[in-house]
């Protein structure tokens, strides 16, 4: 005798006292009953799964329609409130920020939408990152939430290179590539060179590189303006204003160094020194009377200009 499925079966035959045939028929009937039961359960489970799939599909399709938007928004708001009440909310003490030095705090908080009134469960880190990248100072950014209450932000800032005065006479900070980083509201970057004019922000790095090795000139420059994207006007701390070609070559700077080092040039009372032409130097007097002009010509005899390189033919740049 053995037990199977909670019933007891005799392995024997009806006509035979040992009951072998009876035992075989009973076991076979029991297996068929269990198989039929499991098949019904499987069919029921499949039906339920199919209904769930169809329901989810219908809800998704419904959510795509314009008429469903108010309903979906209301349900989302309810779920968001429930998550907030359950503790899924950012804690100011768990806000981690790294990499910022010059980016205004107000711009950062506005981009991150902090303090955040919704639940941390539905906070969109992708949108927050895109808003951060919209800030001029920020070159790259990463935003990460650690549920239920921590927000981690890491940014890389652009390096300030120069100041640029826009058309409204507002001074902006720019990097070497000419990206506008933000206004110089507190004059924190007064030590940076000041440029002006359309296109000057992108050309500033080339100009600074050209005069980098000319220390005497570099430290005297106060303001550089890019005029109609054709030439530069340079205001020095003292002395005449300079007009230089768009491409400031070493030859132009050699001529300029010779002029600025000449004591007779310093005593002429010049308004501008124009080096835009490669074959001549144009000097404009502050008081261009005939007497002053004749005096300047007398002072600038060939012997006084021996240190200057010979003129070359060329056109205005």
pLDDT in tens, 249-308: 999 999 999 999 988 888 888 999 999 998 899 999 999 888 888 888 887 765 444 444
> What 8-state DSSP symbol labels residue 83?
H
Whole-number pLDDT of residue 174? 98
Percent pLDDT > 70 in the chain is 71
- Please calculate the CA angle 296-298-300 and round it to the nearest 5 degrees: 70
Rg (CA), the chain: 42
Where does the pLDDT of residue 242 fall: very low under 50, low under 70, confident under 90, or very high at 90 and above? very high
pLDDT in tens, 87-144: 999 999 999 999 999 999 999 999 999 999 999 999 999 999 999 999 999 999 999 9
Assess contact for 313 and 273: CB atoms under 8 A. no
Whole-number pLDDT of residue 154? 98
Q: Model pTM?
A: 0.69
Closest CA relative to residue 245, chosen from 220, 227, 271:
227
Whole-number pLDDT of residue 54? 57
Residue 2 predicted with pLDDT over 70: no
- Gap between the Cα atoms of 135 and 129, Å rounded: 10
105-112 vs 125-133: helix crossing angle, rounded to 10:
150
Q: Where are the alpha helices (DSSP H) in 65-119?
A: 69-85, 105-112
Where does the pLDDT of residue 14 fall: very low under 50, low under 70, confident under 90, or very high at 90 and above? very low
Assess contact for 207 and 174: CB atoms under 8 A. no
Where does the pLDDT of residue 18 fall: very low under 50, low under 70, confident under 90, or very high at 90 and above? very low
Residue 45 predicted with pLDDT over 70: no
Where does the pLDDT of residue 73 fall: very low under 50, low under 70, confident under 90, or very high at 90 and above? low
pLDDT in tens, 189-241: 999 999 999 999 999 999 999 999 999 899 999 999 999 999 999 999 998 99
Structural domains of the chain in order of their starting residue, each with its CATH number: 2-63 (no CATH), 92-157 (3.10.20.310), 162-305 (3.40.50.11690)
Whole-number pLDDT of residue 184? 94
Strand pairing partners for 195? 164, 224
Structure tokens at 98: 């790294």
Structure tokens at 285: 């007097």
Q: How many residues does the chain have?
A: 317
Where does the pLDDT of residue 59 fall: very low under 50, low under 70, confident under 90, or very high at 90 and above? low
Strand pairing partners for 232? 226, 244
């Amino acid at each position: 005798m053995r037990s199977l499925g909670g019933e007891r079966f005799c392995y024997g035959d009806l006509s035979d006292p040992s009951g072998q045939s009876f035992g075989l028929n009973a076991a076979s009937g029991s297996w068929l009953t269990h198989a039929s039961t499991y098949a019904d359960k499987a069919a029921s489970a499949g039906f339920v799964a199919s209904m769930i799939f169809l329901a989810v599909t219908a809800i998704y399709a419904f959510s795509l329609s314009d008429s469903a938007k108010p309903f979906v928004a209301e349900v989302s708001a309810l779920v968001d409130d429930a998550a907030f009440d359950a503790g899924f909310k950012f804690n100011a003490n768990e806000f981690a920020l790294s990499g910022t030095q010059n980016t205004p705090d107000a711009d950062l908080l506005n981009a991150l939408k902090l303090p955040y009134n919704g639940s941390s469960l539905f906070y969109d880190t992708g949108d927050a990152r895109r808003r951060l990248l919209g800030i001029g100072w920020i070159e790259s950014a990463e935003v990460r939430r650690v549920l239920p209450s921590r927000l981690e932000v890491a940014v890389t800032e652009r390096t300030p290179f120069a100041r640029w005065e826009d058309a409204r006479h507002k001074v902006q900070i720019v990097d070497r590539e000419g990206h506008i980083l933000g206004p110089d509201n507190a004059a924190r970057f007064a030590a940076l060179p000041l440029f002006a004019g359309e296109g000057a922000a992108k050309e500033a790095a080339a100009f600074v590189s050209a005069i980098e090795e000319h220390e005497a000139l570099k430290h005297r420059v106060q303001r550089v303006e890019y005029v109609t994207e054709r030439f530069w006007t340079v205001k020095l701390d003292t002395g005449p204003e300079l007009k230089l070609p768009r491409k400031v070559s070493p030859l132009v700077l050699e001529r300029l160094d010779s002029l600025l080092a000449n004591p007779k040039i310093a005593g002429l009372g010049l308004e501008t020194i124009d080096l835009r032409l490669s074959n001549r130097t144009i000097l404009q007097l502050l008081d261009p009377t005939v007497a002053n002009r004749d005096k300047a010509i007398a002072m600038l005899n060939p012997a006084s200009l021996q240190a200057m390189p010979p003129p070359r033919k060329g056109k205005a740049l």
